[in-house]
Amino acid sequence: MPSSRIKERVRILETHLKASPMQHYSYADLPFAVFCYPPRQEWAMRREIDLLKTRLENDTQREIMFISLAELMWQSVDESEGIEEVVALERQDGFEKAQDQVQDYLSDPDWRPLRDLLADRLAELDPNRHLVFIVRAGALSPNIYRVSKLLDEMKGRTRVPCVLFMPATTEGKTSLRFMGIAENEGRGSYHTKVYAE
């Protein structure tokens, strides 16, 4: 069960999403918010996200769409060299090399960059009718791809309002640890409204 603090932040986010105009983002050319929750709360948070979707669809004229970063990551791998190549590389050179290769698939324009896959999905939607919940960010851990990098790359690429739900712990008011992993502390700047403890 999510903590009362998470539920309170969900209520604040919900209020911002129901406002007209929406108040969940800071910049018109990057209509994203990041909602952080403790990684151990993944299953409870998924339920909260589903409940939020239902309330928003009942109370607004928007259709809530889900985009899975895990699904986009595997699409990138499949449309690059395929999982067999990644498995062979890991067997030969170890996990770090395989992770670096997947990072290349997600970053390099010669492969299938994550930013392009996400932008393609968002291009199919109407910014005045849809709201997107981006989920399964944990698939990008431990160091496959930085969420802050993705947000930087999405600037100016969509007008569709989005909320990216990210498993992360917080240190103080400004430092996020993706998946609670210490080596991920303080990496990147999000340039978006962040809903965190």
- pLDDT at site 171: 65
- pLDDT at site 23: 78
* Residue 152 falls inside a structural domain: yes
* pLDDT tens track for 5-17: 888 999 999 999 9
Cis peptide bond prior to 142, omega within 30° of 0: yes
Q: What are phi and psi of 61, to 5 degrees?
A: -95, 10
d(CA 40, CA 174): 21
* pLDDT tens track for 19-66: 888 878 877 888 999 998 888 888 989 999 999 999 999 999 899 999
Structure tokens at 123: 């291009």
**Which domain range does residue 26 map to?**
4-68+113-195
- Helices 69-79 & 114-123 angle (0-180, nearest 10): 120
* pLDDT tens track for 77-130: 999 988 998 899 889 988 888 888 888 899 999 999 999 999 999 999 999 999
Q: What are phi and psi of 126, to 5 degrees?
A: -100, 120
* Residue 60 falls inside a structural domain: yes
Give the pLDDT mean for 161-180. 74
Say which CATH number the domain at 191 has: 3.40.50
d(CA 177, CA 168): 5
How much is the pTM? Answer: 0.88
Tally of domains within the chain? 1
More confident call, 123 vs 4: 123
d(CA 153, CA 23): 21
For the chain, the straight-line distance linking the first and the last C-alpha, in angstroms and rounded, comes to 17
* Residue 76 falls inside a structural domain: no
d(CA 42, CA 166): 9
* Residue 21 falls inside a structural domain: yes
* Residue 106 falls inside a structural domain: no
For residue 37, give the 3-state DSSP assignment: strand
* Residue 88 falls inside a structural domain: no
- pLDDT at site 187: 45
* Residue 91 falls inside a structural domain: no
* Residue 169 falls inside a structural domain: yes
Beta-bridge partner residues of 177: 169
- pLDDT at site 20: 85
